[in-house]
Structure 1
Amino acid sequence: MRFLWPLLLLLVPFASAAEEVVLGLSKDKVAITTSFDGSEILIFGAVKRETPIPEGSPLEVVITITGPSEPVIVRRKSKLFAIWVNTDSVEVDRAPSFYAVATTAPLADVLSETEDLRHKVTIDRAIRSVGAPDNIENAALFTDAVIRIRRDADLYQTLENGIALDQQTLFRTAIEMPSNLTEGNYATRIFLTRDGKVVSSYETSIAVQKVGLERWLFTLSREQPFWYGILSLAIAIAAGWGASAAFRLLRS
C-alpha cells in the first residue's frame, strides 16, 4: 500500500490541471505622457483542456488588475467651534493604487467566501488594514472611505458580468484604466472557477511607465531636486513675462 502513495501524489497535479488558462493582452505596457488621458486594456484568452468539458456547474472566469500598493493615511474631520478640523487618523497598511475585478456572473455566484479570503479577490480583501489605535471608534469606516474615494475616481472598479465567455472556452473583457495611474507593475490575475472554487489560475503583469518629457521631469525631480526647482522657477518667470507681454500687446 505504501507504494501507491507516490503514484497518487503524482496524479493530483494532472487532475487539478484539467482546465488551464491561455492568456492574451492587447498591450503589456502603458506609456504615461503629458497628454495621457487613460487607456483601455483588452484581456482575452482561452481555456485549454486535455479532456471534454466537465458536466455540471458551468465554468466561470474572474479577472483582477492590481496597481502598486502603499500605505494610506485616512483622516476624519470633526466640527470644532464652527471649524472643521482633523480629529482622528488611521493608517491603512496597504491599499492598491488601482484595482479592478471583472467576472462572468455576479461575484457572489462565481467565488466562495473561502476562496475570496485565500486569493484576496474582492476590493475589501485586497486592502490590508491590520488595526487602528484603541481610541478610534468605527475604524472600519476609514477603510470604507478609501474604497469610496477611489471608486469615485474610477481607481477601484467592480465589473460584474463584465467578462464574455463563449462555449465555456473563449473569454474576453475590456478594462478602462484612468489617467491618474501610479507608475509601476500592475499584476493581472485570471481565475477559472466551478461551484465557487478556483480550479486554475494564471498571473502576468502590465508595466505602466512615464515616457518622454513626463519621464524626464519625474526623474529630474527625484534625482536632481535643486535643478528641478531652478527649472520650475525659470518656467514660472518665463510664463509670467510672456503673459505680461501679451497683455501689453493687446492693450496697444
Structure 2
Amino acid sequence: MKRILPGAVRRWCAALGQLAGTRFRSRPEWTPSGGPERRDCARRCAKGAPSAERGGRRQAVLAPLPRRGFDRGGRPLAGLLALVLLVAGAQPGAGEGAAGEAATGEEVVAGLSQNRIAITASFDGSEILIFGAVKRETPIPPGPPLQVIVAVAGPSEPVVVRRKERRFGIWVNAAAVEVDSAPSFYAVATSAPFHDVLSEVEDLRYKVSIPRAIRSVGAPMDIEHAEAFTEALIRIRSKAGLYQVMEGAVEVSEQTLFRTRIGLPANLTEGDYSARIFLTRDGKVVDVFETSIPVRKVGLERWIFTLAHERPLAYGLLSLALAILAGWLASAVFRYIRS
C-alpha cells in the first residue's frame, strides 16, 4: 500500500478507513520466516492448537496471519469504498466540467454611437444608436429565437402627482400622492411584443417595463385608487415624449447582430443615464449588459446653471444688474428716437 499511494493520500485513506470501521496500516504485517510473530504463533499452536498426524509425528498447524493492510476483524469492502470515494473526489475536473458546461451561454457585446450628450443653447434633442452582437462559445441552441430588449433610463427622483377637481367653477388641486422614485426619462425598445419577449416574473425581477421602473411604496389612507396617480404620471410623461415604448424597434439579424435607435427629447434632465441590454429566450433573461451615458450642459448654459445653483447670491445680483442696465438702455434708445 505504501508503494501505491503517496503519503498524503495514505493518511486520508487512514482517516476515512477509521470512519468506515477499517484502519489502514502504514507497513505490511508480513514478517520474515523466522520472525517473532511466526515463532509466537508456533508456540501457541504447539501448546493447544489443533495438530495433524503425518508419518507418526505430531506437527503443529499454523493459523493464517492477518491479511496485509487490514486489522484482524477488519472489513476490506469498507476500506475499498473509502479509497474509491477519495480518488473520485480528488480528481480536479470531476465536478467542474458539468458546472462549466452549464455556465456556458450567450453574452452581450454592445456599443453606443454617443458616449456623452452635451446640452447647449441650441440643443433640440438627440438620437443614440445602440448596436452590438451576441458572443457564443457553443452553437445557437434550439428552441425559441433570441430576443433583445434595450432600456434607457434617466435619473430618478421623487414626484408629487396632484388630482384637480372642479369646485365652484374653478379647477383646484385636491388629493396628492408622492411617488417615491420615477425616472425623468425612460425608453424601452424590443425586438417583438413586450409580453412575448419578457415574462412577468423576469419583469418583476429586473424592472424593465415602465410601471415596474416607477417605485411608489404607499399612498395616504384617505385616497382611493392610488394606482391611478401612477398611471396619470405615465400618461402625462408619455405625451411629453419622456416615456417611450417601442415594440419591434430592435433589429436582430441571424440571432447574433442587433441595432436600434433611441430618440432623446429636448427637455432632458441633466445627469447620468443608464442603458441596459437584455438577451432573452422564451421570456427568460439570458444575459444583461449595462452602461452609463452622461448628459451635461456645456458652454454658456453650463456656466449660468452652475452660477445659479452654487452661488445664488451672485446670480441674483448679476440678474438685477442686467435688468437695470437693460432698462436704462431701453429708455436711452426711446429718448434718442423722440429727439
Q: TM-score, normalised by structure 2?
A: 0.69
1:83/1:47 Cα in 2 relative to 1: closer, same or farther (>3 Å)?
same
For residues 46-125 of structure 1, the aligned pairs below 5 Å read 46-125=133-212
Larger radius of gyration: 2
> Partners in 2 of 1:169 and 1:143 — Cα distance?
37
Aligned position for 1:235: 322
Q: In structure 2, how many angstroms separate the alpha carbons of the residues matched to 1:218 and 1:97?
A: 18
C-alpha distance 194-236 of structure 1, shift in aligned 2 (>3 A): same
Q: Tell me the SS of whatever aligns to 1:154.
A: coil
**For residue 312 of structure 2, what is the aligned residue in structure 1?**
225
- Counterparts of residues 1-252 of structure 1 (less than 5 Å): 3=89, 8=95, 11-12=98-99, 15-244=102-331
Identify if the C-alpha distance between structure 1 residues 81 and 26 changes in structure 2 by more than 3 Å, giving closer, same or farther. same
CA spacing shift, 1:197–1:246, aligned 2, 3 Å: farther
Q: Given the superposition, is the C-alpha separation of residues 231 and 14 from structure 1 closer, same or farther in structure 2, using an over 3 Å criterion?
A: farther
Distance in 2, Cα, partners of 1:10 & 1:100: 41
**Cα distance change of structure 1 residues 167 and 239 upon mapping to structure 2, 3 Å threshold:** farther
1:85 Cα deviation from its structure 2 partner: 1.3
Contact 1:17 1:200 in 2 (8 A): no
Offset of 1:15 from its aligned partner? 2.9
Task: Report SS of the residue matched to 2:171.
Answer: strand
Deviations 1:211-247 (A, max 9, x none): 1111111111111101101122233334444555566
Task: Give the fraction of aligned pairs with identical amino acids, expressed as a percent.
Answer: 64
Q: Which amino acid aligns with 1:43?
A: I
Cα distance in 1 between the residues matched to 2:329 and 2:302: 26
Per the TM alignment, residue 141 of structure 1 is displaced from its structure 2 partner at its CA by 0.9
Measure how far apart 1:154 and its partner are: 0.7
Tell me, in whole angstroms, the C-alpha distance in 1 between the residues paired with 2:223 and 2:254: 51
For 1:88, the aligned partner's letter is A
Partner Cα separation in structure 1 for residue 244 and residue 330 of structure 2: 42
Secondary structure at the counterpart of residue 151 of structure 1: helix
1 CA distance for matches of 2:333 and 2:100?
73
List runs of 5+ in structure 1 lacking aligned partners: none
Alignment length, in residue pairs? 251
Deviations 1:116-156 (A, max 9, x none): 00000000000000110000011111111111111111110
Q: Alpha carbon RMSD of aligned pairs, Å?
A: 2.2
Q: CA deviation at 1:41?
A: 0.5
User: Whole-Å Cα distance in 2 between the matches of residues 106 and 98 of structure 1?
Assistant: 21
The residue number in structure 1 matching 2:34 is none
Q: Do the aligned partners of residues 250 and 7 (structure 1) sit closer, same or farther apart at CA in structure 2, a change above 3 Å counting?
A: farther
Q: By percentage of residues, which structure has more strand?
A: 1
User: What stretches of structure 2 of length at least 5 have no aligned partner?
Assistant: 1-84
User: Deviation digits for residues 190-225 of structure 1, max 9, x if unmatched?
Assistant: 000000000111111100011111111111111110
Q: Offset at 1:59?
A: 0.2
Give me the TM-score of the superposition, normalised by structure 1: 0.92
* 2:68 equivalent in structure 1: none
Q: Answer 1 or 2: higher relative contact order, Cα 8 Å, separation at least 6.
A: 1
Q: Which one-letter code corresponds to 1:49 in the other structure?
A: R
- In the TM superposition, what whole-angstrom CA distance separates every residue of 1:52-93 from its partner, at most 9, and x where no partner exists? 111111000001011000000011111122221111110001
Residue pair 1:100, 1:156 contacting (<8 A) in 2 also: yes
User: In the alignment, is the contact (CA less than 8 A) between 1:16 and 1:200 conserved in 2?
Assistant: no
Bigger mean CA deviation after superposition, 92-101 or 32-41: 32-41
> Aligned-pair distance for 1:9?
7.1
